[in-house]
Amino acid sequence: MTFDKDTVREILLRIEASSDPRGWIDIDIPGRSETEVSYHVQILDEAGFIEAENLSDMQNYTWKAKRLTYQGHELLDSIRDPEVWSKTREGASKVGGLALDVLMSLGKAYAKQILREKLGIVLP
């Protein structure tokens, strides 16, 4: 299965939008199967961006998200803005994809660039 960064962003946004961090969060993304979503939830859990649980059984492959970790909030904050996300995706595609931590750094760099261009604010 391929790793899709748009699916990652959608999962993070949906977890953040959940109002109860105590239980499992059902994530339905149009155009993505339950298996695809579960795969990305598992990867995000392994990377430390979310807490999730493996609820798979003999017939079903199911991973359910519980909450964002601090690192997950950081990643989401760096790619939340649609303009920043568009530039981040474009930059990542030029080099053939990037690891999530590098993607987060790229998102932060684009966010700083946009702050500089639109507000005249220069951040280190």
Per-residue pLDDT at 64: 96
d(CA 54, CA 99): 23
Question: d(Cα 86, Cα 6) in Å, to the nearest integer?
Answer: 10
Q: Can you tell me the distance from the alpha carbon of 70 to that of 76, in angstroms, rounded to the nearest whole number?
A: 10
Give the CA distances from residue 33 to residues 5, 50, 59, 106, in Å, rounded to whole numbers and listed in that order: 15, 20, 15, 28
| Domains of the chain: residue spans and CATH | 1-124 (1.10.10)
pLDDT of the residue at 114? 78
- Render pLDDT for 10-38 as a digit per residue (tens, 0 to 9): 999 999 999 776 789 999 999 999 999 99
Q: Is the pLDDT of residue 9 over 90?
A: yes
